[in-house]
Chains A and B, each alone.
Chain A
């Protein structure tokens, strides 16, 4: 019983740390100039946290961390309930669903899960723009975003894969 409680506390603390890390990565990333001269394309460093928590925790806890990250980061960044908040939320939700199924199916390695998540993130954002702004012309941009999501998703996959051994002991 005591052991179980200790474990639960440990998971709770780690989940809170992950949420904080996700927020920090999300904000730090928006401060840096984008390495690729493409509007809307970014590294997606916060996705490392989602990937890691998908491997370490239960899906429900991962979803909680993700939603908390999106909400708190938008509150800090001052974009709460604005267009970029909805973009961020829709991208995160679709990317989470795709990564969850890709990861649980065990067909793919961690890099591919990350790439699929990155592609789903851009897809979700484009769908969101289509429904919110009612502008189909945004679909012109989708092929570019999908192409860029492959190297960028691979990069976050490498980072998450290299971090995983250090956090393995917290696995539940």
Chain B
């Protein structure tokens, strides 16, 4: 009544789970599912200031934060804060971001520059 031995159907079921896992991971790897468009989101004081679409050539976006003016250079290869009038300059020293979810934060300006590939 309580079957414990493995038969053909059991192996087929387990292998089909493995195949499903393989199929999903390969489709993610090869077809890049879920990465529809790359864009950069700039938040000031938790409010979305602007959403910039990334282009192959570098472009510059200028805006002003709480403390002073900021300048963001963005391209598909990476996004960085190129100049800021804030005292610490941590956002300028920060290396360029190019992956989904990465961000550059400037505390005096209350600015968050966030990379998004959704």
Which residues does chain B contribute within 8 Å of A55, judged by CB atoms?
A: 2
Q: Interface 1/0s, chain B 16-35, versus A by CB < 8 A? A: 01101110110010000110
The SS class assigned to the A binding surface is helix
Q: Interface 1/0s, chain B 27-49, versus A by CB < 8 A? A: 01000011000000000000000
Determine if B14 and A139 form an interchain contact, defined as CB atoms under 8 angstroms apart.
no
Query: Chain A residue with minimal CB distance to B3?
Result: A109
B2 to chain A, nearest CB (A): 6
The SS class assigned to the B binding surface is helix
B56 to chain A, nearest CB (A): 24
In the complex where A110-B2, A139-B34 touch, is A115 in contact with B24 (Cβ < 8 A)?
A: no
Determine if B25 and A161 form an interchain contact, defined as CB atoms under 8 angstroms apart.
no
Which residues does chain B contribute within 8 Å of A139, judged by CB atoms?
A: 24, 28, 33-34
A70 within 8 A of B: no
A137 within 8 A of B: yes
**Segment with Cβ contacts to A, from B4-12, B66-74, B85-93, B102-110:** B4-12
Which residues does chain A contribute within 8 Å of B118, judged by CB atoms?
A: 135, 137
| Contact size range, B | 20 to 34
Cβ-Cβ contact count across A and B, 8 Å cutoff: 66
Determine if B21 and A146 form an interchain contact, defined as CB atoms under 8 angstroms apart.
yes
Determine if A109 and B6 form an interchain contact, defined as CB atoms under 8 angstroms apart.
yes
Determine if A164 and B2 form an interchain contact, defined as CB atoms under 8 angstroms apart.
yes
Which residues does chain B contribute within 8 Å of A63, judged by CB atoms?
A: none
The interface of chain B, by Cβ under 8 A from chain A, is 2-7, 9-10, 13-14, 17-18, 20-22, 24-25, 28, 33-34, 100, 118
Interface size on A, residues (CB 8 A): 26
List the 5 closest A-B pairs by CB distance, nearest first: A143-B25, A146-B21, A107-B9, A143-B21, A112-B10
Q: How far apart sit A111 and B6, CA to CA, in the bound complex (Å)?
A: 9
In the complex where A107-B9, A108-B13, A115-B13 touch, is A147 in contact with B4 (Cβ < 8 A)?
A: no
